[in-house]
Every structure is written in structure tokens, then in C-alpha cells.
Amino acid sequence: VKRVYTFGNGQAEGRADMKNLLGGKGANLAEMNLIGVPVPPGFTITSDVCTEYNTLGKDAVVALLKSDVETAIKNIELLTETSFGDKKNPLLVSVRSGARASMPGMMDTVLNLGLNDESVVGIALKSGNERFAWDSYRRFVQMYGDVVLGMKPESKEEIDPFERIMEEVKEQKGVDLDTDLDVDDLKELVVQFKAAVKEQTGQDFPESAWEQLWGAVMAVFDSWNNERAILYRRMEGIPHEWGTAVNVQAMVFGNMGDNSATGVAFTRDAATGENIFNGEYLINAQGEDVVAGIRTPQQITKEGSLRWAELQGVTEEDRAEMYPSLEEAMPEVFKELNATQQKLERHYKDMQDLEFTVQDGKLWLLQTRNGKRTGAAMVKIAMDLYREKIIDDKLALMRIEAHKLDELLHPVFDMDAIGTANELAKGLPASPGAASGQIIFFADEAKKYPETILVRIETSPEDLEGMLVAKGILTARGGMTSHAAVVARGMGKCCVSGAGALKIDYKERVLRIEGKMYREGDWISLNGSTGKVYEGRVKTRQPELDGDFASIMDFATKYTRMTVRTNADTPKDAKIARGFGAQGIGLCRTEHMFFEGERIKTVREMILSSDEQGRRAALDKLLPYQRGDFEGILEAMQGYGVTIRLLDPPLHEFVPHTELAQQEMAKEMGISLADVKNKVADLSEFNPMLGHRGCRLGNTYPEITEMQARAIIEAALNLKAKGVITRPEIMVPLIGTVEEFKMQADIIHQTAQLLFTERGDKVEYLVGTMIEIPRAALTADKIAEFAEFFSFGTNDLTQMAFGYSRDDANKFLPIYIEKGILKTDPFQILDQEGVGQLVRMGTERGRSSKADLKVGICGEHGGEPSSVEFCDSVGMDYVSCSPFRVPIARVAAAQANI
């Protein structure tokens, strides 16, 4: 097996499409080489080796890699005319993580590797820049100590030992910035850093370049399994088995002086999607300096710089003097960078997120990847690239991460409310959206209130989990490419960054803004689209969807095979879903109508009656309500199929449980309180979900089915009389045997026939069933002889296949997922391996006896992209989901068919 892939000087053994093996970073470093973008030479150790490392351990893996890595290092030496481990002319490298899917900042990287007490002198002489040499060295000792030697503290409360030393030295010198430290300070830092290493680990800092290299490679493999990487994978659904590749690459130096710089850039605006090249850089800096928010980063374009200054309230004089754009400070480099970004975007046909370094006036690219973006930017970029003829409609559709469409449907601030709200501060519009919540200062307290805003000086990867929980994120420091900004955009979470007026006191847990004080728990609101921060809770409203969204939906219609229906119980929901393009209703739960207004009393009367006569009397009163509801829903669906499920929940859910309500009930029905109590006690069951519910109700109390069937057919007849075409589909829930279904179907057909004769008119209707009990899936061929359609109720089917009570599973499911017993929550993401077999088998067996059997799904899974894809693969006719998930399902359904 080939374990090492080299790249450099316009050649590469890897390619962009080898991400699985080389990781995203490695594959793209190779590709950039091949298309003539300047990239420092290096090599990639495959992610398969990470797997080998996890099973075989360090020594075995070093033995496997040794000769390949030595050859690859030789190659870099030749291209850079340096020598690894040499005193006078040493090759320095970075050792970088990089997995198949991008996991920004989650794993480790070591820079300037190869330095030691001797080679630092060599570098100083060679570059003629002593400060640079020692700055690189102290960075190396720090990074290597943290990452490889385990000096980085486990808990967030402890500060990094190197940071502490650095703060002390800066304080002694009376300086604020790293760049203000001189050569002697840096030398002193290195001495103290090494002493700290010796003290804490009991070992000397390794001087041998090869020892350093193997240590770093193994540490990068180890970082695949660090806590934040595991958490991130869980959040993003990235499999733990993948492992990370390791990239070893010749260093280029952005910290060589004022003609050097480092930066990050986006080919388009990741927040709005606008086609504006943007990014940030720092002069005389290295690696993560820009993202870490140590110094105020500067903008890449002049236009961006002007906008930034306006938002930050920086005068033009100060801006031009202290924070000039790259375009102004290094016009030649800017020109080349701009040409390169265009080239990369054209090549990858998608918005790119770039890392670059300028060493003594020469530009080098260090990374490119498809940039993370908000839902709104995702749609705009896909459509812009389509209009620019860089991609076609299919590819535009494939560029949509369906679940992210959700963000576009989230509320925005009401303009009137914003007009009168009290503006507290202004930061950068880092990630759009509207958010209100109570202030918290620590990520691990994000659940302290139901809705929180995480307020931090800056965020770090450790804050990830809290950021996910909070409604919005506000930081005092950091730019548009700061950790908070990038992560928030990826999550589609509202974020305002770099609001300089904020004075945060973590100890006291207060936020001061121009003399005013806000405590933990106080409400604030963020507008991530303008960067403004408001006092209190500002009112929101539903957003309007633009033409680009509509175009994506049109593409979805063009390429989909399945249709998308909605789960709706009211005409209002049905109309919303129609607006999102739902073609029919896949599940209308009749019992939801039972709770509205006075109806529940009639329902209770029916349930509490002691005989059929009493029940029929109550059902007669319910009939007009149900008929009215069905008319509304059938009309709203404009002739599309409407699947109406007969009464499903256990009756106990409808009876009065409080003493007061029971008294009232007794009075109304003219029976004693004791009688009511007895009846209620009678209805309670040990396992209501497996009890007297679903078709078991209709089969024991046929008059209920009769009434519901009558209400549906009468509604259809009434609408027909008004000229409205309808397609009711009556669905029997929870059947396990064909007899259960036949009995119900007979009642429905008889009722319909009776009405047709009575009215002298007819309507089309179907009678089908839910498949939600495993036995029904297993005997689907028998059932399909009588049923005209199937709808997989995957909520109950999952519950019964796993034997997990849906209502109790929260006690163990989160723990199961944390421990890796389950990869995902099967109630959210269809378990294709197990439950999926029942779905596939049920569909196939059903169609074996009725070839044109209509099949759909109506569980929660109908709006979850991976489950929708599965439904397409088993040949379903439609999926059905809640109204706001309809756009997601439409895109997922179309993608499944491309």
C-alpha cells in the first residue's frame, strides 16, 4: 500500500478527488500544485495510516512509514535547497492535520518544526533576521509543548503554561503586543518555555528534528480523538472511523518582517453570499494569529477595509495609517491573490475559503476548501454560480445542504420593533439572523436559561457545545474570520463579533457598555445581519423568501421523482405547506381537532358514555365539527391527495384529569363525580402506547369509524357540490393483521355507499393503512390485497422495532449516543439498517400483490434528508413532513434522484 503522497513544484501524486484518502487539506494541496498555484512543497500521510496507528501503535507505524517519509523529506529538501536537521541551512516544516470532512480548528497542527538551539542560529544568519528566527523558535516550543508533549491544560479554567510565561514577560517589559517583544525577550521566552517543559514532563525538549517529526505526526493522529474533535464529529455526523491524514509541508514565513504577512480569505461573502472577495490578514504574523484575535486583523480589500472602519467607528486617517488593506499595503501581492482566488473558485466551481502567507513579498497558498456559509449564502451562491454559467441547475441543486434551508425560514426582527429598540453597541455582522436571549458568559452554562446569548471576549473550540445551544453569540474581540464568526456561520447561528465597546468581566459576570451594566440573565437581542446589539427582547416576524429560493425549489421540482406532502391538521397549516410547495397531505391527525374549543367536552361525553347509544349521541354532535374541518383542509389542498388518519391515541389522553374538570364533566353529563372517576381509572393502561388505541378503537367502537368516515365523505360531497375537486384518502392506523384492516375498510366502504345513495352523487376516495407495527410490514403482501395505499408511520415503527418507548427514551438515548452504542437518534434519523429493512420489505411485499400500490412515509423522518434519500431508494411515491420542513424534503428528494 502507498502511505505517502508527495506534492511540490507543480507536481503531485494526489488529486482533489482523493479526499477520502488524503483528507480535504492534503487533496487540495496536491490539486493546487497541479493547477499552478504556488504551494510550499510537502507530502501527505494517508488517513488509512491513522487507522493503522490506532490498532498497531506508534512503533509499528513508524517502521511502516520510515523509508517513505525519508524519501519524501528528501524531495522537499531538493526543492527548497535546505536540509532537515541541518544547523546552518535547516528545513523547517509544518505538521498539519486534515480529515476527509473539514473540521476547522478541531485537531492539531505544529509549525516551525526542525528548530533547535543550533538551527535557530543558522536560520537567523541565513535570513539576516534574528528576531524572526527567535519568534519562530518560541512559537515552535510552545506549539510542540502544547500539542505533542501534552502541556496544554485539560480544563478551560487553567491557563496554558506558555501563555502565562508570555504574559509575565510582557508585563515585565511593559508591552501589550507580541510584536513589541525584542530578540532578547524572545530568547528569554524560549529558555523559560523549555524550563517549563522540563519541570512538567521531566524531560528535555527534543533537539533532534527527526524525533520532533515523529512525535508531531503521532500527536496529529492522536488529535483525531481529542474531546472537541469527537464532539464536532458528533454534531456534524462525521464517522469516527475515518481518521485524519497528516500533511508535512515546508514552512513559509509570514513573520519575517513588514514585507511578510498571513491571512485568510473567502472568494464570496460567507454570510450573505454576495460575490465580494473578502478576508483578513496581519503583517508580520504566523499561522493562527489572524483567527486567534491576538491583534486586530486588517481587511484584504480596500472596499472591505472602508466598510470595516465605518462599522468600528475608526476614522479614515487611523484606518489608512494603522489598518490599511492588503490592497493598499501590498498592491502587487493583492493582485496575485485576487487572480488566484478567481482561479480557485472557477476550478472548484464553488466558494472557497483560503489560507495564504506572504513571505518577503512572495505569495504562497496554504489551504483551500469549499467555504462554510449560512443558509442564505448557500442559496445565493448556488444561484449566482448558475447564472455565471459556472455550474448547471443540477449542480446548483446539489450545492444545497437541504437541512440548512431551515435557517431561511427562521424569524427576523420586526422593522418597527427595531426602530424603537435601544441600540447598545455595534460589532461586525458575523453571521446573520435575529436572536434574543438572556446573557451568559460561559459556554458550559448555555442551558442555564431557555434562551441564551453567549457573551464572550472571544470564543475557542472548547466553547463549541455551548455555542450550539445558545440562540446567539456576541464577542468583544475578533473579526469576520474569528473562531466565533466561522463556527457560527457554519451552524447558521446568529453572531455579532468584535463589538469593541463591550467590557466583559468574567469574574463578576457583568457586561459594561459605556457606563451601563448588564448582568448574567439580562435580556439582549442581536442582529447578525447588521452587527447591532439591542437592549431587551426585540419582536420578530417571519421572513420573506426571495427569488433565488424559488429557483432552487423549481430545480427541485424538475429533478424529483417522489412528491412531497405535508403533515397538517388544520387548514392554516395546510395553506402554509401549500405555500412551500407541498403536494398533498400525508398525515392529517383527526384527534388534534378534538381538542379545539368546546369540542373536547363532546369527545369526553362520548368516551365516558356507558353504552353505544350514548356514544352515538355524542358522535352526532362531533360530526359537524369534523366535517367542517375536513372541508377546510380538503379545499386548501386544491385537489391534491389528503390522507386522513382515523382516531389513533388511547382514549385516556382525552379525559379530564383534574378534580375540577371532572366535577364539571359530571355536572354536564348528569352523572356522579365518582362515576367519572371510575371511568377515568378504567381507561388508564399500563402500556398505553401498546394498549387500546389505533384501529383497536375503531374495531371495538365501530361507531367512531362510522362517524369519521361519514364526516370525510360528506365533506368531499359538499365540496364537489361547490365545484371543488378533492381526493380524500382514509387511513386506518396501527394495524397488525389484515383482519383488523378489513373490518375497518368494510365500515368505511359501507358508510360511503350509504351516503352516495342518499345524495345521489359520488366522490373518489381511497382506503389504506399505516404500516407502523412490525407484523404489518412482515405481512404486507396480505394487507395490500385490500389496502389501496401504505403510509409508513416510522415513529411507531421505530418505537416497536427497537422496543424503545418514544416517551421514555430520553432517559437513555442521549447516553447511548454519547457512549457510541447508537450513532444517531433513531427517532430523528431513520435507522436504515434495522427499521429500514421493515420499510423496504413492507414496500416490496405490498407491491408484490398490488403492483401500483401507493407508498409513502409520514413519520418525523419524512423531513430528514438522509431518510428522504432512503425513501427514494426503496421506491416510495412520496414523503410527508411538517410544513416548515417541506422545502428541505423537496430538495432532498430531488437530490436523491440525481
Taking CB under 6 A as the criterion, the residue among 143, 256, 351, 366 binding ligand ADP is: 366
Q: Name which of residues 750 to 789 contact Mg ion (CB under 5 A).
A: 772
192 binds ligand ADP (CB under 6 A): no
109 binds ligand ADP (CB under 6 A): yes
Min dist CB 8 to Mg ion, Å, is 19
Name residue 271's amino acid: A
Q: Give 371 or 528: the residue with its C-beta nearer to Mg ion.
A: 371
CA 103-104-109 angle, to 5 degrees, is 100
Asked about 50 being catalytic, the answer comes back as no
Min dist CB 109 to ligand ADP, Å, is 4
CA separation for the pair 886, 863 (Å, rounded): 7
In what order do the strands lie in the sheet containing 452-456? 423-426, 532-535, 523-527, 434-440, 452-456, 472-475, 494-497, 428-431
The residue from 483, 588, 861, 871 that is catalytic is 483
Dihedral, 338, 341, 346, 350 alpha carbons, nearest 10: -130
793 binds, among ligand ADP, Mg ion, none (CB under 5 to 8 A by kind): Mg ion
Cα-to-chain-centroid distance, residue 534: 27
Q: Give 569 or 772: the residue with its C-beta nearer to Mg ion.
A: 772
498 binds, among Mg ion, ligand ADP, none (CB under 5 to 8 A by kind): none
105 binds ligand ADP (CB under 6 A): yes
The residue from 494, 695, 858, 881 that is catalytic is 858
Taking CB under 6 A as the criterion, the residue among 367, 563, 643, 705 binding ligand ADP is: 367
Name residue 397's amino acid: L
Query: Is beta strand 532-535 parallel, antiparallel or unpaired with respect to 423-426?
Result: antiparallel
593 binds ligand ADP (CB under 6 A): no
Burial class (CB in 10 A: 0-12, 13-18, 19+), 660: exposed
Min dist CB 94 to ligand ADP, Å, is 3
Q: Give 391 or 879: the residue with its C-beta nearer to Mg ion.
A: 879
DSSP 8-state secondary structure symbol assigned to residue 371: P
312 binds ligand ADP (CB under 6 A): no
Query: Is beta strand 766-771 parallel, antiparallel or unpaired with respect to 789-792?
Result: parallel
In what order do the strands lie in the sheet containing 261-266? 298-299, 278-283, 261-266, 352-359, 362-370
352 binds ligand ADP (CB under 6 A): no
793 binds Mg ion (CB under 5 A): yes
473 binds ligand ADP (CB under 6 A): no
Question: Residues annotated as binding site?
Answer: 589, 645, 772, 793-796
Taking CB under 6 A as the criterion, the residue among 249, 368, 482, 791 binding ligand ADP is: 249
Give, in order, the Cα–Cα distances in Å from 370 to each of 267, 269, 352, 627.
10, 13, 5, 53
371 binds ligand ADP (CB under 6 A): no
287 binds ligand ADP (CB under 6 A): yes
129 binds Mg ion (CB under 5 A): no
355 binds ligand ADP (CB under 6 A): yes
40 binds ligand ADP (CB under 6 A): yes
288 binds ligand ADP (CB under 6 A): yes
567 binds Mg ion (CB under 5 A): no
Residue with cell 441600540: 423
Quick check: 732 and 752 in contact, CB under 8 A? Answer: no
Question: Residues annotated as binding site for substrate?
Answer: 589, 645, 772, 793-796
The span of 362-370, 388-396, 815-823, 856-864 binding Mg ion (CB under 5 A) equals: 362-370
796 binds, among Mg ion, ligand ADP, none (CB under 5 to 8 A by kind): Mg ion
705 binds ligand ADP (CB under 6 A): no
19 binds ligand ADP (CB under 6 A): no
Min dist CB 417 to ligand ADP, Å, is 39
Give, in order, the Cα–Cα distances in Å from 720 to each of 130, 393, 508, 635.
89, 40, 69, 10
Phi-psi region of 151 (alpha: psi -120 to 50; beta: other; left: phi over 0): alpha
Question: Residues annotated as binding site for Mg(2+)?
Answer: 772, 796
The span of 124-132, 244-252, 499-507, 563-571 binding ligand ADP (CB under 6 A) equals: 244-252
Closest CA to 697 of 804, 591, 585: 591
96 binds, among Mg ion, ligand ADP, none (CB under 5 to 8 A by kind): ligand ADP
Q: Give 96 or 404: the residue with its C-beta nearer to ligand ADP.
A: 96
299 binds ligand ADP (CB under 6 A): no
Q: Give 290 or 326: the residue with its C-beta nearer to Mg ion.
A: 290
Min dist CB 281 to ligand ADP, Å, is 11
Query: Is beta strand 298-299 parallel, antiparallel or unpaired with respect to 278-283?
Result: antiparallel
Q: 3-state SS string over 135-201?
A: HHHHHHHHHHHHHCCCCCCCCCCCCCHHHHHHHHHHHHHCCCCHHHCCHHHHHHHHHHHHHHHHHHH
Query: Is beta strand 109-113 parallel, antiparallel or unpaired with respect to 261-266?
Result: unpaired
Q: What is the largest CA-CA distance in the chain?
A: 104
Asked about 495 being catalytic, the answer comes back as no
Quick check: 438 and 521 in contact, CB under 8 A? Answer: yes
252 binds, among ligand ADP, Mg ion, none (CB under 5 to 8 A by kind): ligand ADP
Taking CB under 6 A as the criterion, the residue among 251, 651, 731, 871 binding ligand ADP is: 251
Q: Give 98 or 375: the residue with its C-beta nearer to Mg ion.
A: 98
Closest CA to 61 of 206, 214, 248: 214
Q: Name which of residues 363 to 382 contact Mg ion (CB under 5 A).
A: 367
Closest CA to 893 of 841, 873, 852: 873
Phi-psi region of 449 (alpha: psi -120 to 50; beta: other; left: phi over 0): beta
Q: Show the site string, 512-531: x = touches ligand ADP by CB under 6 A, - = not.
A: --------------------
CA separation for the pair 556, 558 (Å, rounded): 5
Phi-psi region of 476 (alpha: psi -120 to 50; beta: other; left: phi over 0): alpha
Q: Which residues bind ligand ADP (CB under 6 A)?
A: 40, 94, 96, 104-105, 109, 111, 249-252, 287-288, 355, 357, 366-367
Q: Which residues bind Mg ion (CB under 5 A)?
A: 367, 772, 793, 796
Active site members:
483, 858
